[in-house]
Amino acid sequence: MSKLSISTSLQISKTPEEVFEAIIDPDHMSQYFISKSSGKMEADLTLEWEFPEFPGSFPVRIKSIIPHTSIIFEWDGDSHPLTVTILLKALDSGTSTLVTVKEKDMEHDEAGINWLKNNTAGWANFLACLKAYLEYGINLRKGGFDFMKITT
């Protein structure tokens, strides 16, 4: 049986250079995705990301960076490491960018199907938040996941 993987895309009306910087720079990324990072994304680094709706930090191992073209990192799923690839493709003579996020692999079982459902929605949200931030200066994520916070 084949493994499950995610692929979702969105066009953003900014150059690949602007989109790339918004993804690798924690000062930008904290405006639409994470709350904190231990550093800027660079190949062969392991960063710690924090999210506003989840307690603790999550290790992110940067595997490869090709400026303005691709970012590949690995982070831990429930049962094993998952690889995330973010691809940037210039469109409209370089004035906009097609951003594609791919994540792989999970087994084709109940846990894998739940991962596919949740992470596909998560990456689509990432792209929408990135677009809103870059094009309109809006943080769509702020308050959007407060319902997920653990209350004591």
* Domains of the chain by residue range: 4-144
Quickly count helices (H) and strands (E) in the chain. 3, 7
Distance CA 111, CA 101 (A): 21
Architecture of domain 4-144: 2-Layer Sandwich (3.30)
pLDDT in tens, 14-66: 999 999 999 999 999 999 999 999 999 999 999 999 988 888 899 999 999 99
The DSSP output letter for 103 is E
- Cut 0.85: pTM above it: yes
* pLDDT tier at 152, thresholds 50, 70, 90: very low
Task: Tell me the two tokens of residue 2.
Answer: 């084949």
pLDDT for the residue numbered 78: 72
Q: For a pLDDT cut of 90, what percent of the chain falls above it?
A: 80
